[in-house]
C-alpha cells in the first residue's frame, strides 16, 4: 500500500469532503459555517498575493490535514507566507501529517518568493501545551523559532452602546466611509 | 436475539479469531518460524489488510505485548463520544457503527467499520465519536500512550497506521460524498457499491453484499427515512438490479448498471 501523503489545494468539490476533519477538531462547527469560511479562500485573487486552503491527502484521497495560507507583505519580514487554521487530527501517525504541512509550507514559500514563513497555532495545537512538546521540537528541527506574541480576546456584541468614546468614534468613522 | 444465541455466536467468533492452538496444529512445524506462532495475530483474519500486515515476528511480539483482545455483543457500545480516549482499537471481526450526537439529542451515523479498520479518533483527550457493535465484534485494544511509544520504535508501523488509521475519518468523508448525491436511488446504490468495494479490500467477494446494519441505520447514515430506503430497495429489485437474498444479504444482479447509477450516469 502506498502511504505517501500528498498536498492538494482544496477546491469547491472538496469542501464538503473536508468537513468531517474540521468537525473533528471543532465539534460545534456546522457544514454551512465551514463552507462560508472556505469559499472566499478559493476565490480568484491577484496571482501576486495568492491564498488558499491546502489539504494533506493520503494515497486513497482522504483528507488527513488542512491549513490556510496567504502571501502577505510584512513590515518586519517583507514578503511572508502566513500559515493558519492548521487542522491535524489526533490519531496515531499525526506527526507525519504535521511534517507534511511544514514541508508543504516550505514549498509554497519558495514558489511564491517569500522571505519568511509564519505558522500560527491556536487551541489544541498550541505548542505551550505540555502534550505538544513534539510539535515544538519538530518546528525547531525545521528551522522555526517561536517569536512575537499573538493575543486573543473574545469580543462581546451584546453591549455596543457601552463602547468607550474612542471606540464609538472609530465606529462612526468606519460607517461614514461606507463600511457596514 | 436470545442471550444463548449471542453467546454461541461470540464463542464461534472467539474460536475463529484467537485459537492459536488450532493454528499450530494446522501448520507444518518444520516450515514455520516458531517466533511467528507465539502471537494471536497469526490467526487473525484481518491481519493481511490491517496495519499489522507489515510487521516482522519481533515487531509483532512487541505489538502483542501492549495489546489485549476485546469482544462485544451486538448493540453494545465500544465507547461513547466525549469519554476519555485511553485506547485505540483494531477491528478483527464483525462490524461497528460510529455516530455523533447532535445538539438536539438525535444521533447521526457517520460510518460503518469492518475488519482491518482502526478506531479511536479523539479530540482533546476524549473520543470524537461513539462506536457500537452491529454484530458480535472482536477487536484488538491498545493503550494509546503505549502505542505512541511503540510507534517511535517502529517507524514503518506509524506510516502504515497513518495510511489506515483514521477509518472513522475516512468513513465520514465517504458519507459526505454519498450525501452529495441527489436522489435516494443514487444514495442507496452508492452505499451498496461502497460496501461491495469495501468487501473486496478485505479479500471478501464483491457479491453478495452483506448488510450487518439494519434499515434504520442505513436510513440514518444516508439521510433518508426508513420508508424511502425500503421503497428504494423494492424499486431496485423490481428493475432486476438487485436481489434481496435475505434481510442481511443483497445480490448485485447488474453490477455495471449499479456502478453507473452510483457515479451519476
What's residue A150's pLDDT? 80
Tell me which residue of A70, A81, A80, A83 sits closest to A41, measured CA to CA.
Answer: A70
What pLDDT is stored for residue B12 in this prediction? 42
Interchain pair B169, A89: CB under 8 A: yes
Q: Which of the given ranges, A42-51, A160-169, B25-34, has the highest pLDDT on average? A: A42-51
What's the rounded Cα separation, in Å, for the pair B194 and B201? Answer: 11
**pLDDT attached to residue A129:** 60
What average pLDDT does this structure show over B233-255?
94
Instruction: Find the helix or strand (DSSP H, E) in which A105 lies.
Output: helix A94-111
Return residues 129-158 of A near B (CB < 8 Å): none
**Cβ–Cβ of B161/A27 closer than 8 Å?**
no
pLDDT digits (tens, 9 = 90+) for B121-149: 887 788 989 999 999 999 999 998 888 88
Which residue would you say has higher pLDDT here, B152 or B66? B66
Q: For residue A58, what pLDDT band results from cuts at 50, 70 and 90?
A: confident
Domain with CATH 2.60.120.10 in chain B: 3-165
Give the CATH architecture of domain B181-262: Orthogonal Bundle (1.10)
C-alpha to C-alpha distance for B163 and B170, rounded to whole angstroms: 10
**Once rounded to an integer, what is the mean pLDDT over residues B5-15?**
41
Q: For the CA atoms of A131, A133, A138, A139, what is the dihedral angle to 10 degrees?
A: 100
* Residue from B51, B109, B162, B181 whose CB has the most chain A CBs within 10 Å, to mutate: B162
Q: Is the pLDDT of residue A114 over 90?
A: yes
Per-residue pLDDT band at B107 (split at 50, 70, 90): confident
Euclidean distance between CA atoms B39 and B172, whole angstroms: 33
- Summarised one tens digit per residue, pLDDT across range B45-76 is 777 777 677 777 777 788 888 889 999 999 99
Q: In this complex, do B163 and A1 lie within 8 Å of one another by their Cβ atoms?
A: yes
CA distance A22 to A10: 13
Q: pLDDT at position B224, please? A: 93
Distance separating alpha carbons of residues B154 and A166, to the nearest angstrom: 60
What pLDDT is attached to residue B2?
43
By C-alpha distance, which of B210, B220, B212 is closest to B187? B220
In tens, the pLDDT along A61-102 reads 899 999 999 999 999 889 999 999 999 888 777 888 999 999
Provide the greatest CA pair distance for chain A: 64
Which tens digit of pLDDT belongs to each residue from B85-103?
999 999 999 999 999 888 7
Q: What residues contact B4, with CB distance under 8 A and at least 6 apart? A: none
Are A77 and A116 in contact by the 8 Å Cβ rule? The answer is: yes
Indicate the pLDDT class of residue A180, thresholds 50, 70 and 90: low
Is the separation of the CB atoms in A146 and A154 below 8 Å?
no
Structural domains of chain A ordered from first start = 6-153 (3.40.630.30)
Question: Rounded to whole angstroms, how far apart are CA atoms A84 and A105?
Answer: 11
Give residue-wise pLDDT tens across range B168-207. Answer: 888 889 888 888 877 899 999 999 999 999 899 888 899 9
Distance from CA of A95 to the nearest CA of B (A): 9
- B190's grid cell: 452508492
Residue B182: what pLDDT? 75
Q: What is the mean pLDDT of chain B?
A: 80
B205 φ, ψ to 5°?
Answer: -65, 145
Could you tell me which chain A residue has the CA closest to the CA of B178? A17
Instruction: Please tell me the distance from the alpha carbon of residue B17 to that of residue B113, in angstroms, as a whole number.
Output: 17
pLDDT at B115 over 80: yes
Kindly report which listed range (A120-134, B24-38, B82-96, B239-253) carries the lowest average pLDDT score. B24-38
Report pLDDT for B21. Answer: 29
Quick one: pLDDT at residue A121? 83
Q: Which of B128, B162, B179 comes nearest A24 by C-beta?
A: B128
Q: What percent of chain B has pLDDT over 90?
A: 42
Rounded distance between C-alpha atoms, residue A140 and residue A145, angstroms: 6
- Whether the predicted pLDDT of A168 surpasses 70: yes
Q: How far apart are CA B37 and CA A2, in angstroms?
A: 28
Task: Note the pLDDT of residue B209.
Answer: 95
CATH 1.10.10.10 residue spans of chain B: 181-262
Q: Is the pLDDT of residue B22 over 50?
A: no
The CA distance from A7 to the nearest CA of chain B, in Å, is 15
Which of A19, A58, A124 lies nearest to residue B162, judging by beta carbons?
A58
Please state which CATH class domain B3-165 belongs to. Answer: mainly beta
Instruction: Tell me which chain A residues have a C-beta less than 8 angstroms from the C-beta of B175.
Output: 20
- Residue with the bigger pLDDT between B217 and B61: it is B217
Average pLDDT of the residues in B34-52: 64
Amino acid at each position: 500500500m502506498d502511504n505517501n501523503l500528498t498536498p492538494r489545494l482544496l477546491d469547491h468539490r472538496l469542501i464538503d469532503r473536508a468537513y468531517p476533519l474540521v468537525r473533528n477538531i471543532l465539534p460545534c462547527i456546522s457544514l454551512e459555517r465551514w463552507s462560508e469560511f472556505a469559499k472566499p479562500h478559493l476565490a480568484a485573487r491577484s496571482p501576486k498575493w495568492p491564498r488558499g486552503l491546502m489539504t494533506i491527502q493520503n494515497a486513497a484521497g482522504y483528507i488527513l490535514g488542512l491549513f490556510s495560507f496567504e502571501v502577505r507583505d510584512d513590515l518586519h519580514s517583507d514578503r511572508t507566507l502566513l500559515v493558519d487554521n492548521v487542522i491535524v487530527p489526533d490519531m496515531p501517525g499525526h506527526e507525519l501529517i504535521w511534517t507534511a504541512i511544514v514541508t508543504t509550507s516550505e514549498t509554497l514559500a519558495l514558489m511564491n518568493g517569500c522571505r519568511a514563513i509564519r505558522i500560527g497555532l491556536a487551541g489544541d495545537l498550541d505548542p505551550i501545551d505540555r502534550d505538544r512538546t513534539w510539535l515544538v521540537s519538530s518546528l525547531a528541527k525545521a528551522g522555526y523559532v517561536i517569536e512575537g506574541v499573538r493575543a486573543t480576546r473574545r469580543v462581546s456584541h451584546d453591549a455596543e452602546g457601552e463602547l468607550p468614546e474612542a471606540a464609538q468614534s472609530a465606529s462612526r468613522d468606519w460607517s461614514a466611509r461606507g463600511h457596514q | 436475539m436470545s442471550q444463548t444465541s449471542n453467546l454461541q455466536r461470540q464463542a464461534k467468533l472467539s474460536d475463529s479469531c484467537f485459537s492459536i492452538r488450532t493454528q499450530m496444529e494446522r501448520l507444518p512445524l518444520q516450515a514455520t518460524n516458531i517466533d511467528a506462532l507465539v502471537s494471536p495475530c497469526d490467526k487473525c483474519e484481518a491481519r493481511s489488510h490491517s496495519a499489522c500486515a507489515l510487521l516482522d515476528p519481533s515487531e509483532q511480539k512487541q505489538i502483542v505485548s501492549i495489546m489485549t483482545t476485546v469482544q462485544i455483543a451486538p448493540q453494545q457500545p465500544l465507547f461513547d463520544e466525549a469519554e476519555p480516549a485511553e485506547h485505540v482499537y483494531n477491528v478483527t471481526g464483525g462490524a461497528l457503527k460510529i455516530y455523533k450526537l447532535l445538539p438536539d439529542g438525535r444521533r447521526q451515523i457517520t460510518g460503518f467499520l469492518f475488519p482491518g479498520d482502526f478506531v479511536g479518533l479523539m479530540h482533546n483527550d476524549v473520543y470524537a465519536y461513539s462506536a457500537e457493535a452491529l454484530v458480535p465484534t472482536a477487536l484488538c485494544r491498545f493503550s494509546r500512550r503505549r502505542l505512541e511509544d511503540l510507534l517511535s520504535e517502529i517507524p514503518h508501523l506509524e506510516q502504515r497506521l497513518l495510511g489506515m488509521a483514521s477509518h472513522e475519518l475516512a468513513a465520514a468523508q465517504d458519507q459526505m460524498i454519498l450525501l452529495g448525491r441527489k436522489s435516494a436511488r443514487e444514495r442507496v446504490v452508492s452505499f451498496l457499491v461502497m460496501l461491495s468495494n469495501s468487501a473486496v479490500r478485505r479479500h471478501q467477494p464483491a457479491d453478495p453484499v452483506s448488510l450487518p446494519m439494519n434499515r434504520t441505520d442505513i436510513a440514518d447514515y444516508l439521510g433518508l427515512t426508513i420508508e424511502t430506503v425500503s421503497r428504494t430497495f423494492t424499486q431496485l429489485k423490481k428493475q432486476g438490479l438487485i436481489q434481496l437474498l435475505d434481510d442481511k444479504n443483497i445480490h448485485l444482479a447488474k453490477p455495471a448498471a449499479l456502478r453507473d447509477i452510483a457515479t451519476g450516469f
